Structure 1
């Protein structure tokens, strides 16, 4: 991925849903102006979700997702349908495609209800209007039946494309709400010092994604980013001539950086910023209190969103289990999940430790957090976990008042239990 590409995990996911052969792939191809998805008059051509990143002006970068028809039959159909339903957990906006030659039935009403429960905004599309002599009456009756605005669309008549793009732009959350990693903490002209260790796991010749994105967000806020390594931090702070607004460090060198950063300078970590950006920081901070309450025989799930090649000192497989043993000295059963699979039954775990989610979008991470909450299982992410076991709480969260409050309440609750 190039430096200038917006990562897929940061783009809002706009998902096409509907029956087989409703024309979802044709709509995708019309929107992108290129054949990204295979189309055919035979129903069930699309099997796995097709992801198509595109720039939709003026909304900016999005991902269009084409899915298998949800009315697919048989055993394979069941698998495809489950994949499509899984996609709903990362959907920011649903495009419900209705075939004008078929109309709606219980299937569409059920899908409409699923989306309503998940609070996913919907745009209705009445496709293949070229088959109707007069589309307006059908549009009006569907809008009333589904309680949903409908856009008449025809790929062959080139109708509805502009209206659909406009509706997508108006319905998506606006840019400034989406990309704040650190910008809401900064004013123009503020100095931000970023501490980036260059170690074996750091990719040669580039910074890792969270570091790139934090620098970009700092610059977009008209603030000044100063990047240094942990051993040069003290010298950097002396040479700056004024106090930085914030020091942001890689969590793995937090102790060294905390020692070298004056107490009156706010300090946090990239992963704490991303915990807040991708999930619910208050909930993750509350989860940290569960670390000390682990007992012999407890099961802990370490979940990673991506399937990267393990380093010899891999954070999820090696370092976190080691820190757990060192911190609490208990015999734990540690299990791992990676990629898009997240266990259905979480109730047997005493704690979930999730990666920083740089490859997931916010909606997916919040969905995972709501699943752990529903199962009554505390969850932390790597950044919050590392900051906690390295003894840098509460300093790492002092610049976030609501997280600080959640922390104090969790301590209070712990002292009463």
Structure 2
């Protein structure tokens, strides 16, 4: 270490694969090395090509802000337009008429995660399906880590404890996806005594070990560096972590049937 510091003016991190010494410090150093504001190359990278028709299913219910679209929807539309795709947007109740109006099945359907089950039932067999939250799981975080973390859902019990982590500090509405729908789905499957805690904004626990699973939102209000640091924190403490879209796909039983960026 002294030689490296002297010769190269660098501070090495000593890591042992055997004892795991230094691995948390290495993870932190990697997270710090990601440039501020760094994002993946494209929200829909690898899923669409120029000229594709992409159908967006966007419920405008009580959760949707009045008079505007939410940020992930706006950013996804802009990404698709930049990739010279044809974008068709519908509410969930207009999905089937929209599909009938198209001359050919869309190249991709992107839905709100809460509509996964319904959209999957009626979509054309040849059209791949994903969600805004799943896209942002890759754009803002680590989609592979989230999919691995979702496997922990099968191990939950009525005595488990789950943390729901929201990036923004919005006032929760009726049928809020993080505060109502996901906890309800978990308790329906594992029992009403399953404990669900909520954190919002930067109020993220330092110690995650009391939890059996962390379910994070899409992270549209955070930069990728910060979201990755949360994933690495959970991994360092041995706590599985997934995100809203991946968790809902898992709970709906279609995680293996949706496309990942």
Q: What TM-score, normalized to structure 2?
A: 0.83
Question: Structure 1: where are the runs of 5+ without partners?
Answer: 1-108, 123-170, 401-417
Q: Does 1:214 align with 2:76?
A: yes
Cα pair 1:295 1:330 within 8 Å, conserved: no
After superposition, the CA RMSD in angstroms is 2.7
Question: How far apart are the structure 1 equivalents of 2:29 and 2:249?
Answer: 35
Contact 1:323 1:389 in 2 (8 A): yes
Superposed, 1:206-355 pairs within 5 Å as 206-329=68-191, 331-355=193-217
Q: Is the 8 A contact 1:183 1:221 kept in 2?
A: no
Q: Note closer, same or farther for the CA distance 1:296–1:201 as it changes in structure 2 (3 Å cut).
A: closer
Alignment of 1:78-157 (within 5 A): 117-118=29-30, 120=32
Q: Distance in 2 between matches of 1:367 and 1:326?
A: 31
Residue deviations 1:279-333, cap 9 Å, x none? 1111111111111211232221111111111113222222221111012226222
The answer on whether the counterparts of 2:217 and 2:244 sit within 8 Å (CA) in structure 1 is yes
Task: From the superposition, tell whether residues 238 and 294 of structure 1 become closer, same or farther in structure 2 (CA, over 3 Å).
Answer: same
1:392 maps to 2:260: no
Q: In structure 2, how many angstroms separate the alpha carbons of the residues matched to 1:370 and 1:274?
A: 17
Structure 2 CA distance for partners of 1:172 and 1:342, relative to 1, 3 Å = closer
Deviates more, 1:364-373 or 1:379-388: 379-388
Equivalent positions of 1:32-43 (< 5 A) are: none
Report the secondary structure of 2:155's partner residue: coil
More displaced 10-residue stretch of structure 1: 305-314 or 188-197:
305-314
After superposition, the Cα gap between the structure-2 partners of 1:219 and 1:112, relative to the gap in structure 1 and judged at 3 Å, is farther
Between the aligned partners of 2:237 and 2:111, the Cα distance in structure 1 is 33
Asked if 1:199 corresponds to 2:111, the answer is no
CA distance in 2, matches of 1:340, 1:209: 19
> CA separation of 1:173/1:324 partners in 2, compared to 1, >3 Å: closer, same or farther?
closer
Higher mean C-alpha deviation, range 221-230 or range 382-391: 382-391
Asked if 1 retains the 8 angstrom alpha-carbon contact of 2:37 and 2:225, the reply is: no
CA deviation vs aligned residue, 1:347-369 (integer Å, no higher than 9, x gap): 12111111111111111111100
Measured in 2, the distance between the counterparts of 1:172 and 1:343 equals 22
Secondary structure of the equivalent of 2:199? strand
For structure 2, list consecutive stretches of 5 or more residues without a partner in the other structure.
Answer: 1-8, 14-24
Q: Distance in 1 between matches of 2:29 and 2:89?
A: 44
**Mean Cα deviation higher: 313-322 or 356-365:** 313-322
Are the aligned partners of 2:167 and 2:219 in contact in 1 as well (CA < 8 Å)? yes
Which gives a bigger RCO, structure 1 or 2 (Cα 8 Å, sep 6+)? 2
- Residue 369 of structure 1: aligned partner: 231
Tell whether the 8 Å contact from 2:53 to 2:106 is kept in structure 1 after alignment.
yes
Instruction: Sort the Cα spacing of 1:261 and 1:377 in 2 relative to 1 into closer, same or farther, 3 A.
Output: same
How many residues matched? 241
